[in-house]
A and B are shown apart, each in its own frame.
Chain A
Amino acid sequence: MNSATGRAGIIRARDDAGSMDKLAHSVLDDVLFNIVSDLLMKTHREEKTARATTAAIRVEKLASDASESSTPDSGPDVRIETDAAIYEDGKVLLKGNPLKTTTDILCPRCHLPRLLYPTDGKGARKPDPTIVYCKKHPFIEKPGCDIYGQSWVGPGPGRGKKKKDMDKKDGADGTPEQRPPNVLSFPSATCSKCKRCILVTRLNNHMGSCIGNSGRNASRAAAQRINGGGSQNEPTPPPSQKATPTPTSRAQSPRKRDVSDDDDDDSETSHKKKKLKPSQTKKVILKTKPPLKKDKIKSSSLSQEQKADYDVPSPKVLNKIKSKAESPIKKLKVTKPTIASPMSKNGRDIDGESESSGTLSSPPASRH
């Protein structure tokens, strides 16, 4: 072989190159040729088989239309001929090359024409609106979209732990008209245990705490066991979040969230709370627990009652102490006369767990 290149003729040695050089070039060129021809052959096979199938489906359809016999077992006893195929004796025979005789492709399953180009993104073409196409469309290649041309509302929700994210998300759900139809939002799913509807992005967290004994509550309980175990005599940590004795930033954030969360059931729970509260506080006083720090909401709500019944430091003093650490106290001070949302929260806890009253009580006692 003395030519400067192989079959493809793309990789070409210089004319004055040595024979080994030429050989190397022509080998590489041949290999390239083989790669291209393999790819071509694969596509050719797919395409030609699909066209042959299309020709067969067409002629079979004509045959079954032409014959009135409704016996599904035997094929229609007719001879039909189209440009691409012949139907005879229940057999389909090709006429000519299907690549030339047949221009479109019918889906072998639903017998509807296939859409040959994607509707969006790379290589997109407008489909003919008058044709009902097979539902299997070419996949879309477009940045920011998936293979169906879909995209999703912002990555924010669910990513952070902030409830705000979720609220925004819900708002977006409520007004789907503003979004184009192919922009999807994250769905919700039902927890198999508590049957509550949870946004999918929070599902794992929820199930962890609902089914598996894990998540926030579990870790809080563990923290309680470690931190408070020595000073307090309670063998089991209280399950409620409120019970956390230390006003760390960790303890505060969930509280904030709950305040906004529980707004809807305020009225109901606040009534219960009113009834329960006096007895609870009395019990607390009698016990006179060792001093402990309290956190904001607990202190403010309890302090109101203490002011009324007993001679204890005024809430103002308490608030001063607190205000160093956090701003929400001010808000609480303002709303003092009426029963604010924090109260409802306490109420709910008391309902659920008698034990929590013990821990609840400890903060006010500590001030003595």
Chain B
Amino acid sequence: MATRPTTPASPKNAKIKSPSPGCPVFGCEHVQILLCQSQEVMNSSIAHYKMILRGIFDTTPILSQTSTNQEGRPVTSLTSNYLCLQCPVTLSEDDRLKHGTEKLHRFYVDSRTGALYCQICDDLVWDPTLEELRVRKIGTGTFSTNRKRKHDELFAESSKEDPRIISANTTVASCRASGLRGIYNAGATCYQNVVLQSFLHNPLLRNFYLSDGHQSSECSISHCLSCAMDDMFQDFYALESTNGYTAANILSGFWISEKKAFENLVTTKEQDAHEFFQFLAEELHERNGDGKRPQSGSEHTCNCIIHQTFYGKMQTTTTCQNCHNSTHAVQSFLDLSLGVDTLAQRRAKKTGQKLPALTLGDCLDEEYVKSDKCEYRCHKCASIQQARRHTSIKRLPNVLSIQLKRFEFKQGKHDRAASKIDNPVSFPLQLNMLPYTNRARNRDSRENLELERSCTYDLLSVVVHVGEIETGHYVSYCRVGDQWFKFNDHKVELARVSDVLGAQAYLLFYIIRSLA
């Protein structure tokens, strides 16, 4: 470590990743030979690899998918081509060996994934230096480590620290402690458990709490919910226990909390997981943030972990139909609540099906692409006018939480009858939010890929309600790495992607790709 240069010798010179314990310096002996020839060869190889990656990920795939066959005619393939790392040629898999024998070029880049193939190994090679470039290109769209997102320093900082300081001041958790534990149902508290699980497997919140973002030992507030969260994160990620967790502190904090999470709260009754999510988010904001109650409808900003994680901003533009004068109103949001009811009814009429299937895209279109008419007092016209109102997302959050409004209160004459909408709403593993932002309309098509990448979300967790409105059960699915898990109170099971996507989602949590 001592030999590691602290500053790059020259910004133009490419360098290989500095050696770290437990990691070979090169992907294979042959990459080692290539990169160790001279600084020049290393520079050109890495520069060429970057160029190829840009070609693959930033431009239309047609280019890299098209190779020239023996007769000199272009052939476009759906399956991978191979781009030579040592000369600007694209080859089909069949021509690869021939090119290698002729030119002694041994390294090729897969045209669909950017992975490096070594012909001498006859295998894909995962070289630490080149692989880091590829992963970063896929994740953030840029090779540089200076990421654009506002709050990313928070999450990147720790890697810059000296490993010796880290090892001296931290304890290494057992390999058994994976954060995968159930939470016991304390009597109709499954609505809390599902939200807690989705918080526990949220990388942003996890990093915040595990890096002592809120230390329960230094907090003087009694029955602080953030302390209870801190303790819970410690128990999940530091203890070997695989038994369920008893969220007693969360529960008592919840009961003691000054503002009641639910109106006419009765212990034994089942509650709404979404309301609990809102309650927990606001409570944690108050404990970690500026202490101000977020006023609904205002453009409240705060640097607390909850705001950095969940809050985004949406903009409502109202355009007078008479003078075409527009006014903008911006407000921050914790989650997007998407109506299902009207859409389902309309679809049912159209198709004649009893429970027509909807997609998440349909619901998002309804709220953030389409505009509606409203009455509005125009300043310019100084009178009430017809207006068009359009809502779009101005700033996307790092973790996008979406509620599908499956529970509706129908106002009757005497009582309110609640009903549940059982329509299946399909949702993707990967969500592009660009069409729902205010940049969707005035975008340049060239920036399209870049923008789209910054608006790409990956599904993180799903809260599912099963059963009737009055009595049902909540379960949740959370993703850890690429593996999905089903959390049913204290019981944790492996889940397949098809289980997750087939579930009747109530709450969805998506995480921005550039962080994931």
In contact, A201 and B242 (Cβ under 8 angstroms): no
Minimal Cβ-Cβ distance residue in B for A189: B248
Question: What residues of chain A lie closer than 8 Å to B26, measured between beta carbons?
Answer: 93-94
In the assembled complex, B492 has its CB within 8 A of some CB on chain A: yes
> CB-defined interface of A190-216 with B at 8 Å, one 1/0 digit per residue?
111100000011111101110110110
In contact, A134 and B112 (Cβ under 8 angstroms): no
> CB-defined interface of B159-182 with A at 8 Å, one 1/0 digit per residue?
000000000000010111010101
In the assembled complex, A326 has its CB within 8 A of some CB on chain B: no
In the assembled complex, A164 has its CB within 8 A of some CB on chain B: no
* Nearest-Cβ distance from residue A154 to partner chain B, whole angstroms: 13
In contact, A90 and B3 (Cβ under 8 angstroms): yes
Question: What residues of chain A lie closer than 8 Å to B77, measured between beta carbons?
Answer: 30
Stretch from B249-257, B321-329, B505-513 at the A interface: B249-257
- Complex partner residue of B78 from A34, A57, A60, CB under 8 angstroms: A34
In the assembled complex, B59 has its CB within 8 A of some CB on chain A: no
In the assembled complex, A136 has its CB within 8 A of some CB on chain B: yes
Minimal Cβ-Cβ distance residue in B for A52: B24
In contact, B22 and A60 (Cβ under 8 angstroms): yes
- Complex partner residue of A192 from B78, B176, B249, CB under 8 angstroms: B249
* Most-contacted residue by chain B among A55, A95, A146 (CB, 10 A): A146
* Nearest-Cβ distance from residue B32 to partner chain A, whole angstroms: 6
* Nearest-Cβ distance from residue A362 to partner chain B, whole angstroms: 29
In the assembled complex, A117 has its CB within 8 A of some CB on chain B: no
Stretch from A104-112, A244-252, A306-314 at the B interface: A104-112
- Complex partner residue of A150 from B113, B188, B242, B267, CB under 8 angstroms: B242
- Complex partner residue of B267 from A41, A189, A212, CB under 8 angstroms: A212
In contact, B22 and A189 (Cβ under 8 angstroms): no
Report Cα–Cα, A139/B25, bound state, in Å.
31
- Complex partner residue of B248 from A49, A94, A107, A203, CB under 8 angstroms: A203
> CB-defined interface of A203-237 with B at 8 Å, one 1/0 digit per residue?
11101110110110001000000000000000000
Stretch from B119-127, B307-315, B358-366, B368-376 at the A interface: B119-127
Question: What residues of chain A lie closer than 8 Å to B110, measured between beta carbons?
Answer: 41
In the assembled complex, A330 has its CB within 8 A of some CB on chain B: no
Minimal Cβ-Cβ distance residue in A for B182: A146
Given A93-B24, A93-B29, A192-B252, are A109 and B115 also a contact pair (CB < 8 Å)? no
Minimal Cβ-Cβ distance residue in B for A133: B175
In the assembled complex, B79 has its CB within 8 A of some CB on chain A: yes
Report Cα–Cα, A191/B176, bound state, in Å.
29
In the assembled complex, A125 has its CB within 8 A of some CB on chain B: no
In the assembled complex, B216 has its CB within 8 A of some CB on chain A: no
In contact, B27 and A200 (Cβ under 8 angstroms): no
Question: What residues of chain A lie closer than 8 Å to B27, measured between beta carbons?
Answer: 52, 94
In the assembled complex, B189 has its CB within 8 A of some CB on chain A: yes
In contact, B32 and A93 (Cβ under 8 angstroms): yes
- Complex partner residue of A90 from B19, B112, B248, B251, CB under 8 angstroms: B19
In contact, B184 and A204 (Cβ under 8 angstroms): no
In the assembled complex, A91 has its CB within 8 A of some CB on chain B: yes
Minimal Cβ-Cβ distance residue in B for A108: B22
In contact, A136 and B176 (Cβ under 8 angstroms): yes
Given A204-B187, A207-B252, are A53 and B175 also a contact pair (CB < 8 Å)? no
In contact, B124 and A214 (Cβ under 8 angstroms): no
Minimal Cβ-Cβ distance residue in B for A211: B255
In contact, A204 and B1 (Cβ under 8 angstroms): no
Minimal Cβ-Cβ distance residue in B for A74: B2
> CB-defined interface of A10-48 with B at 8 Å, one 1/0 digit per residue?
000000000000000001001101100110011011001
* Nearest-Cβ distance from residue A65 to partner chain B, whole angstroms: 15
Question: What residues of chain B lie closer than 8 Å to A94, measured between beta carbons?
Answer: 24, 26-29, 32
* Nearest-Cβ distance from residue A343 to partner chain B, whole angstroms: 31
Secondary structure of the A side of the interface? mixed
* Nearest-Cβ distance from residue A48 to partner chain B, whole angstroms: 6
Question: What residues of chain A lie closer than 8 Å to B485, measured between beta carbons?
Answer: 147
Question: What residues of chain B lie closer than 8 Å to A152, measured between beta carbons?
Answer: 490-491
* Nearest-Cβ distance from residue B319 to partner chain A, whole angstroms: 44
Secondary structure of the B side of the interface? loop
In the assembled complex, A184 has its CB within 8 A of some CB on chain B: yes
> CB-defined interface of B487-504 with A at 8 Å, one 1/0 digit per residue?
000111110000000000
In contact, A52 and B266 (Cβ under 8 angstroms): no
Report Cα–Cα, A228/B192, bound state, in Å.
36
Report Cα–Cα, A189/B110, bound state, in Å.
56
* Most-contacted residue by chain B among A37, A150, A203 (CB, 10 A): A203
Report Cα–Cα, A190/B28, bound state, in Å.
57
Chain A 39-85 residues near chain B, CB threshold 8 A = 41-42, 44-45, 48-49, 52-53, 55-57, 60, 73-74, 85
In contact, B1 and A201 (Cβ under 8 angstroms): no
Minimal Cβ-Cβ distance residue in B for A85: B24
In contact, A212 and B113 (Cβ under 8 angstroms): no
In contact, A97 and B121 (Cβ under 8 angstroms): yes
- Complex partner residue of A204 from B175, B240, B251, CB under 8 angstroms: B251
In contact, A147 and B180 (Cβ under 8 angstroms): yes
In the assembled complex, A99 has its CB within 8 A of some CB on chain B: yes
In the assembled complex, B156 has its CB within 8 A of some CB on chain A: no
In the assembled complex, A284 has its CB within 8 A of some CB on chain B: no
Report Cα–Cα, A206/B493, bound state, in Å.
29
Report Cα–Cα, A60/B267, bound state, in Å.
58
Question: What residues of chain B lie closer than 8 Å to A41, measured between beta carbons?
Answer: 110, 113, 115, 124
In contact, A201 and B78 (Cβ under 8 angstroms): no
In the assembled complex, A347 has its CB within 8 A of some CB on chain B: no
In the assembled complex, A171 has its CB within 8 A of some CB on chain B: no
Minimal Cβ-Cβ distance residue in B for A145: B493
In contact, A73 and B251 (Cβ under 8 angstroms): no
In contact, A135 and B175 (Cβ under 8 angstroms): yes
In contact, A146 and B493 (Cβ under 8 angstroms): yes
* Nearest-Cβ distance from residue B134 to partner chain A, whole angstroms: 10
Given A56-B23, A201-B185, A207-B252, are A148 and B242 also a contact pair (CB < 8 Å)? yes
In the assembled complex, A141 has its CB within 8 A of some CB on chain B: yes
In the assembled complex, A297 has its CB within 8 A of some CB on chain B: no
Question: What residues of chain A lie closer than 8 Å to B3, measured between beta carbons?
Answer: 74, 90
Question: What residues of chain B lie closer than 8 Å to A336, measured between beta carbons?
Answer: none
Given A38-B113, A93-B29, are A110 and B175 also a contact pair (CB < 8 Å)? yes
Report Cα–Cα, A7/B172, bound state, in Å.
47
In the assembled complex, B80 has its CB within 8 A of some CB on chain A: yes
Cβ contacts A to B, 11 pairs, < 8 Å: A34-B80, A41-B115, A56-B21, A136-B175, A146-B491, A150-B243, A200-B246, A207-B255, A208-B265, A208-B266, A208-B267
Q: Report the 6 A-B pairs with minimum CB-CB distance, sorted nearest first.
A: A208-B267, A135-B176, A203-B186, A30-B78, A204-B187, A189-B248
4 additional A-B residue pairs with CB within 8 Å, beyond A191-B252, A207-B186: A7-B79, A97-B28, A136-B176, A219-B266
